Structure 1
């Protein structure tokens, strides 16, 4: 089981439609992700290196055009 150590937070860019993910730091330095509308659902956990690779790819628009 992934142990998170901080509060889950939602992006300030999230709308009120409820289609959001929340992120929290884990005890091992990674991140845990959950569905904001079903907070009791299973977590998706990322190791530190995997989370950093995801953030780098997202910032470089590797997944497609940015909405910002």
Structure 2
């Protein structure tokens, strides 16, 4: 799906994001799903997840599961 198909949703990003626009943005969708996009390409592709999938990702990020990506 492309973000252009989700023009009515409210996109949010972390308050820790910098002003350069290199951020992950999330939007709540009907039915409890969550959309994710890259703020550098706001009209580009969107990934759709369940709340449980997003919760698992956030827990993994907080728990260090992805630290090997940054050294």
Same-fold call, TM cutoff 0.5: yes
Q: Normalized per residue, which structure has more helix?
A: 2
Query: RMSD in angstroms over aligned alpha carbons?
Result: 2.4
Is residue 55 of structure 2 the alignment partner of residue 52 of structure 1?
yes
- Partners of 2:6 and 2:39 lie apart in 1 by 18
Is residue 11 of structure 2 the alignment partner of residue 8 of structure 1?
yes
1:54 to 1:17, Cα distance in 2 relative to 1, 3 A: same
Q: How many residues align?
A: 65
- Partners of 2:55 and 2:7 lie apart in 1 by 17
Structure 1 gap segments, 5+ residues each: none
Structure 2 gap segments, 5+ residues each: none
* 1:1-68 alignment runs, 5 A limit: 6-64=9-67
Is residue 4–residue 24 contact of structure 1 (8 Å, CA) maintained in 2? no
